[in-house]
């Protein structure tokens, strides 16, 4: 229960979902936390984002665990806002040992229909926001000669899906950032690793807009969502994973148990990555031969 005793963690996207789960997990292990979140909706994101009430609830729950919590509204797209949060965290709590870049959003359109604003909102939040987050705390960690950075990518950092080119590009990019950060910060004894979650049961995944994208109908329910996500995993009984499962992985990377690990990707996907491929919507095209194939004069056998 004291794996992070004496540590301070800075977590973006901390008002709810995976960010909140990390804040509570770290606090339960003895850490004080600094959290921030946007606490307003985004123009091209088709579901509600966090609120000031969500941020206050996370702070209250951290404090109920006997730990201190600095909580501020901040947008990861703004380096100035993140720098301000980090400065306040260090002023009030003394130092920052752990940084978790957890803030993220998604939206859905084929890339050729996607307006510039939709592309940019996801890239600026999910990729540039990660750079801003680690950049805000890196000089402090370098000065102290230690630290741990944990970047949230996704299984989409290794694969793709329909209508998610911007999201996949950002999450692939996060893995590239992780490797670069680990390489540059290693001589300063700062570890940098990435978590690649599967589908997680939080408000980013389970909301009317996302369910409509998954099922192609507006009346899909949470029960439909949970049932469908069972097809996403290999391990028995797993539907969309709890946010706490991602927080457990973050705790490992934040603790001394991973003191010799940097530049790595930890996939938390209940076996999704080993599922064989399957095209659920094959298209028959009379123009394309499907066999027997002409041998073009080449003798086989």
Give the pLDDT confidence of 81-107 residue by residue, as tens digits: 999 999 999 999 999 999 999 999 999
Four-point Cα dihedral 205, 207, 210, 215, nearest 10: 110
pLDDT of residue 287: 81
Residue 30 backbone class (left: φ over 0; alpha: ψ -120 to 50; beta: rest):
left
Q: Residue 299: inside a domain, yes or no? A: no
User: Is residue 98 within 8 Å of residue 61, measured between CB atoms?
Assistant: no
Cβ contacts of 65-69, under 8 Å, gap ≥ 24? 65/24, 65/27, 65/28, 66/27, 67/27, 67/30, 67/31, 67/32, 67/33, 68/32, 68/33, 68/92, 68/93, 69/23, 69/27, 69/32, 69/33, 69/34, 69/35
Q: How far apart are alpha carbons 178 and 192 in whole angstroms? A: 6
- Which residues of the chain register pLDDT less than 70? 289-301
User: Is residue 280 within 8 Å of residue 232, measured between CB atoms?
Assistant: no
Q: How far apart are alpha carbons 70 and 57 in whole angstroms? A: 12
Q: Which residues are catalytic?
A: 167
Q: Residue 279: inside a domain, yes or no? A: no
pLDDT of residue 299: 46
Q: State the distance between the two ends of the chain, measured CA to CA, in whole angstroms.
A: 67
Q: Please check whether residues 246 and 227 belong to one and the same domain.
A: no
pLDDT of residue 279: 73
Four-point Cα dihedral 49, 137, 244, 55, nearest 10: -40
Give me 158's structure tokens.
């290794």
Q: Please check whether residues 230 and 261 belong to one and the same domain.
A: no
Q: Name, in order, each residue with C-beta under 8 angstroms of 74's C-beta and a sequence gap of 6 or more.
A: 12, 36, 37, 38, 81, 82, 84, 85
pLDDT of residue 238: 93
Q: Please check whether residues 51 and 15 belong to one and the same domain.
A: yes
Cα angle for residues 109, 14, 40 (degrees, 5° grid): 55
Domain count of the fold of the chain = 2
Domain that holds residue 212: 206-239
Q: Please check whether residues 106 and 224 belong to one and the same domain.
A: no
Q: Please check whether residues 90 and 219 belong to one and the same domain.
A: no
Q: Please check whether residues 213 and 252 belong to one and the same domain.
A: no
DSSP 272: G
Q: 3-state secondary structure string, 82-122?
A: HHHHHHHHHHHHCCCCEEEECCCCCCCCCCCCCCHHHHHHH
Q: Please check whether residues 139 and 255 belong to one and the same domain.
A: yes
Q: Please check whether residues 64 and 211 belong to one and the same domain.
A: no
pLDDT of residue 140: 98
Q: Please check whether residues 36 and 180 belong to one and the same domain.
A: yes
Q: Residue 291: inside a domain, yes or no? A: no
Q: What is the DSSP string of 175-241?
A: HHHHHHHHHHHGGGTEEEEEEEE--B-STTTSSHHHHHHHHSSTT--HHHHHHHHGGG-SSTT--SB
Q: Please check whether residues 73 and 166 belong to one and the same domain.
A: yes
SS3 call for 256:
helix
SS3 call for 152:
strand
Has this prediction a pTM greater than 0.85? yes
User: Is residue 34 within 8 Å of residue 86, measured between CB atoms?
Assistant: yes
User: Is residue 96 within 8 Å of residue 145, measured between CB atoms?
Assistant: no
Q: How far apart are alpha carbons 209 and 220 in whole angstroms? A: 10
Torsional sign, CA 71, 130, 77, 109: negative
């Amino acid at each position: 229960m004291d794996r992070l005793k004496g540590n301070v963690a800075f977590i973006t996207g901390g008002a709810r979902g995976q960010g909140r789960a990390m804040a509570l997990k770290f606090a339960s292990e003895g850490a004080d936390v600094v959290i921030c979140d946007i606490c307003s909706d985004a123009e091209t994101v088709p579901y509600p984002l966090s609120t000031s009430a969500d941020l206050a609830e996370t702070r209250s729950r951290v404090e109920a665990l006997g730990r201190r919590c600095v909580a501020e509204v901040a947008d990861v797209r703004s380096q100035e806002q993140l720098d301000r949060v980090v400065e306040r965290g260090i002023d009030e709590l003394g130092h920052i040992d752990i940084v978790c870049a957890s803030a993220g959003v998604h939206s859905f359109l084929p890339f050729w229909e996607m307006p510039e604003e939709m592309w940019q909102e996801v890239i600026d939040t999910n990729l540039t926001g990660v750079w801003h987050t680690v950049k805000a705390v890196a000089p402090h960690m370098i000065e102290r000669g230690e630290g741990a950075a944990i970047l949230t990518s996704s299984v989409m950092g290794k694969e793709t899906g329909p209508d998610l080119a911007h999201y996949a590009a950002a999450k692939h990019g996060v893995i590239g950032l992780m490797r670069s950060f680990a390489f540059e910060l290693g001589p300063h004894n700062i570890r940098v690793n990435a978590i690649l979650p599967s589908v997680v049961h939080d408000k980013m995944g389970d909301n009317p807009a996302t369910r409509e994208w998954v099922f192609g109908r507006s009346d899909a329910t949470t029960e439909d969502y949970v049932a469908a996500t069972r097809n996403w995993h290999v391990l028995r009984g797993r539907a969309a994973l709890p946010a706490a499962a991602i927080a457990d992985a973050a705790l490992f990377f934040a603790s001394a148990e991973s003191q010799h690990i940097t530049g790595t990707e930890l996939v938390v996907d209940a076996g999704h990555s080993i599922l064989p491929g399957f095209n659920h919507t094959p298209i028959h095209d009379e123009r394309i031969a499907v066999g027997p194939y002409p041998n073009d004069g080449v003798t086989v056998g």
